[in-house]
Chain A
């Protein structure tokens, strides 16, 4: 079975830790592979969220997923923020720290959106340099997720999959491969998602994301508000064949149903993982 180059474990199936499920998780101790926490929700609080995450971290593997590193921004890196991220990773024993291939703001502002980058040689060099600087502070590989995007820049010099693959190789970082995001971006930009998947360096992938989305007809928005649709599951199967088994997480962030529903949704991934195991055998 193919593995990632850092030997980071396949944690099985996990879900995002969300406030609305805190009580259920602490009371019922569900049988689940791991939890992913939203980094920024735990950096500046000494209240219930931190108490809960400490409890959860004692019983489950934790991975961290951030939205504000703004790795592709032309603003200076926020080193204080990155140090806080490192501190939280140490506190929770997070197995890895991830964020997104995007920028979130410039001129000192934060739009709190995962904004797309022009895929140029200049942006590639700039982002690689920043990833290396972050990794120097974190003292571990940074894991970056391919984003959902809703526009493309005329100045782009390469397709997104080439940018992502070269970024990971040149910066020596990990990838969090979001299968739904590939589906969303492929629909929005009119390309074949399988071409994207086949271009990803398998040994750099540390984790998968799966999620539901909202199809607006002319475009798809990555809303994390629904079940995973069948074409995304099929792409997940294709990804498993190309990359191999990795920790697989379901994101559900809007109209969040009871924990059992979210848990049941990620358990569907077991079917696809079993097919891959049988195929590999």
Chain B
């Protein structure tokens, strides 16, 4: 390949584009240096002139220090955010997932904290994996945990504050959730996997089961609450700003029980005790 002065003595823009292309390439360092993305900037034959060899390492070996560390850093960031997913997949499969994921969704932020934001949607597209739907649900759950961890702190509505709302105001009252609150509707059982991870037990087989869960933060710790469908629907209505009266009327239709009122009252008592609401707006 002919080499012009630009590729033998490239300027900094070219060097940076080349080095990044090599570092993020999913193959080994030799494949990375010979990849179209890298050679469109600097031909592989110019490597020894662009990166000088050291007293103990070839040019390629020196580049490989950076190349090798890139994937390790991405894996480390994502295993911190998705420990249950990693527990289910195992180290090797998880690394393979990260290698493929960061090719499609590389970090474009100053923080690694949001690197995994697209993982649920990415997993959803992997139709070639038999359990992609389950993996996406598990990732949704763990992503919500990370979001709740970082949300702003909110004041918490107390039972006394709720009880002090005048009776005539209940009709139009609206409950405002805390910022650190997420409501999920999943198609797979994910809680057994969470328990397996925290108990250092093998992950169970994935199982299809409609799952409703509230994820929230109390005293700076992310927590979750498994819900019935009726509980979920009522909470969903409330957090979307439907008035208390309207939400309760809808819930009353769905709860088939002679002790309907007590049941709904019990839900509210739990939600308020867990600090899911920040204010009641009348």
The answer, yes or no, to whether A51 is at the interface (CB within 8 Å) is yes
The CA of A188 and the CA of B61, in the complex, are separated in Å by 12
Task: Kindly identify which residue among A47, A74, A110, A219 contacts B109, using a CB–CB cutoff of 8 Å.
Answer: A110
The answer, yes or no, to whether B250 is at the interface (CB within 8 Å) is no
Task: Kindly identify which residue among B62, B110, B152 contacts A78, using a CB–CB cutoff of 8 Å.
Answer: B110
Task: Kindly identify which residue among A44, A110, A126, A221 contacts B65, using a CB–CB cutoff of 8 Å.
Answer: A221
Complex contacts, A108 vs chain B, CB 8 Å: 108
Shortest Cβ gap from A137 to chain B (Å)? 14
Is A189 within 8 A of B54, CB to CB? yes
Is B66 within 8 A of A113, CB to CB? yes
The CA of A155 and the CA of B179, in the complex, are separated in Å by 52
The CA of A150 and the CA of B60, in the complex, are separated in Å by 11
- List B229-243 residues whose CB lies under 8 Å from chain A: none
The CA of A105 and the CA of B52, in the complex, are separated in Å by 21
- List A1-53 residues whose CB lies under 8 Å from chain B: 40-41, 43-48, 51
Is A152 within 8 A of B150, CB to CB? no
Residue of chain B at shortest CB distance from A108:
B108
The answer, yes or no, to whether B36 is at the interface (CB within 8 Å) is no
Binary interface profile of A, 187-214, with partner B (CB < 8 Å = 1, else 0)? 0111000000000000000000000000
Is A190 within 8 A of B52, CB to CB? no
The CA of A46 and the CA of B181, in the complex, are separated in Å by 13
Task: Kindly identify which residue among B56, B59, B73 contacts A112, using a CB–CB cutoff of 8 Å.
Answer: B73
Is B15 within 8 A of A51, CB to CB? no
Binary interface profile of A, 112-156, with partner B (CB < 8 Å = 1, else 0)? 110101101011001000000000000000000000001111110
Given contacts A150-B66, A219-B65, contact A47 B151 (CB under 8 A): yes
Complex contacts, A219 vs chain B, CB 8 Å: 54, 56-57, 62, 65
Given contacts A106-B20, A113-B66, A219-B57, contact A44 B106 (CB under 8 A): no
Shortest Cβ gap from B224 to chain A (Å)? 16
Shortest Cβ gap from A130 to chain B (Å)? 12
The answer, yes or no, to whether A111 is at the interface (CB within 8 Å) is yes
Complex contacts, A188 vs chain B, CB 8 Å: 54
Given contacts A150-B65, A154-B50, contact A43 B110 (CB under 8 A): yes
Complex contacts, A113 vs chain B, CB 8 Å: 23, 66, 69-70, 73
The answer, yes or no, to whether A73 is at the interface (CB within 8 Å) is yes
The answer, yes or no, to whether B249 is at the interface (CB within 8 Å) is no
The answer, yes or no, to whether A218 is at the interface (CB within 8 Å) is yes
Binary interface profile of A, 148-183, with partner B (CB < 8 Å = 1, else 0)? 001111110000000000000000000000000000
Shortest Cβ gap from B57 to chain A (Å)? 5
Given contacts A46-B150, A106-B17, contact A120 B52 (CB under 8 A): no
Task: Kindly identify which residue among A68, A118, A217 contacts B15, using a CB–CB cutoff of 8 Å.
Answer: A118
Binary interface profile of A, 205-233, with partner B (CB < 8 Å = 1, else 0)? 00000000000011101000000000000
The CA of A54 and the CA of B113, in the complex, are separated in Å by 20
Is B150 within 8 A of A151, CB to CB? no
Complex contacts, A73 vs chain B, CB 8 Å: 16
The answer, yes or no, to whether B19 is at the interface (CB within 8 Å) is yes
Which of A68, A120, A153 is packed against the most chain B CB atoms within 10 Å? Answer: A153
The CA of A48 and the CA of B149, in the complex, are separated in Å by 8
The CA of A103 and the CA of B109, in the complex, are separated in Å by 14
The answer, yes or no, to whether A107 is at the interface (CB within 8 Å) is yes
- List A225-277 residues whose CB lies under 8 Å from chain B: none
The CA of A154 and the CA of B49, in the complex, are separated in Å by 6
Task: Kindly identify which residue among A107, A111, A118, A150 contacts B70, using a CB–CB cutoff of 8 Å.
Answer: A111
Shortest Cβ gap from A59 to chain B (Å)? 19
15 contacts between A and B (CB under 8 A): A44-B114, A47-B180, A68-B110, A78-B110, A106-B20, A109-B20, A112-B74, A113-B73, A115-B20, A123-B12, A150-B62, A151-B62, A152-B52, A152-B62, A218-B57
